[in-house]
Amino acid sequence: MLVTYGLPIVATLIAWWFSTGAILYLDGLPRATFRWSLAGATLAGLAAFWGLAATAGDTSVAGAYLAVFCALVVWGWNELAFLLGYVAGTTREPCAPGLRGFARFGAATRAILHHELALLASLAIIAVLTADGANLFGLATFALLFAMRLSTKLNIYLGVPNTTVEFLPEHLAYLKSYFRQRPMNLLFPLSVTAATLLSAWLVHSVIRAGNPFAITGFVLLATFAVLGLVEHWFLVLPLPVAELWAWGLRSRDEAALADPALAPARVAAPLPSATGLATPRAVPPPTFVA
């Protein structure tokens, strides 16, 4: 029982925590290292695509693990390519003052358009690679991560108390101008309700699963869904979230010691508030740390 249900949960928690911290650590290194980091991640991503194709017909417990974590590696490549600044958007400029409504939404979309297209392309490739197989847990994992991240981005765009700007590197600092700080937005209750219902459905699927392969796959998916729900609550609860990945953020301070010009400036970042006035949000220095 413990191995069947507990091991997938623990494995997912470790993978979520470590992969997030590793990406943040690589992103905080001097920019001269970025191409090597991306090259290594690209090789890992290509291997993960191969792994997804190879496990498409594998309905063993190992097949469920491999499919899910290969999808996570592909996701990690997309996140690293974005944070390193290689795959971002068609514009790299701050939001123009005074933009409202669809004009502001269009500008925000253009700022991350290439990243979103890369995610969609990755999802399509995984769908093609696994189309004829019985093991769709890799595809489901990537789709789940994409949906959760899209919801998070929309909520940050519309306005939440915690915009997580401490995770943005200096070369993506212009994206802060598209964020808003607000006590709440109308989408957030819908997002957490949908995430809660999805998590409950996946837990129910675990209970109804009739074999070890299905149990393992649905436990992995359910854990990722619950983590996505928790990350949504991180946007509104006054918690020191950055402390979870302080070890990953520490590379920015190490780079600053070597050459202050190469590291992001850890200063207060002005963010648009609900009133339209600039509200400084201090980025805390890391003492430690998806």
Amino acid identity, position 12: T
Tell me if 290 is assigned to some domain.
Answer: no
Tell me if 45 is assigned to some domain.
Answer: yes
If pLDDT is split at 50, 70 and 90, which confidence band does 260 have? low
Residue (of 82, 85, 89) closest to 108 by Cα position: 89
Looking at residue 94, what DSSP letter applies? P
For residues 186 and 242, give the distance between their C-alpha atoms in angstroms, rounded to a whole number.
26
**Mean pLDDT, rounded, for 83-100:** 93
CB 263 within 8 A of CB 283: no
* pLDDT of residue 289 exceeding 70: no
**Mean pLDDT, rounded, for 174-199:** 96
Tell me if 289 is assigned to some domain.
Answer: no
If pLDDT is split at 50, 70 and 90, which confidence band does 271 have? very low
* pLDDT of residue 140 exceeding 80: yes
Tell me if 262 is assigned to some domain.
Answer: yes
For residues 65 and 73, give the distance between their C-alpha atoms in angstroms, rounded to a whole number.
12
Partnered with residue 269 across adjacent β-strands are 281
Range of the domain at 203: 2-281
Tell me if 286 is assigned to some domain.
Answer: no
* pLDDT of residue 89 exceeding 70: yes
Of 287 and 56, the structure prediction assigns the larger pLDDT to: 56
Tell me if 68 is assigned to some domain.
Answer: yes
Tell me if 210 is assigned to some domain.
Answer: yes
* pLDDT of residue 269 exceeding 50: no
Residue 3, pLDDT score: 83
Residue (of 76, 52, 78) closest to 65 by Cα position: 52
Tell me if 288 is assigned to some domain.
Answer: no
The count of domains in the chain is 1
If pLDDT is split at 50, 70 and 90, which confidence band does 129 have? very high
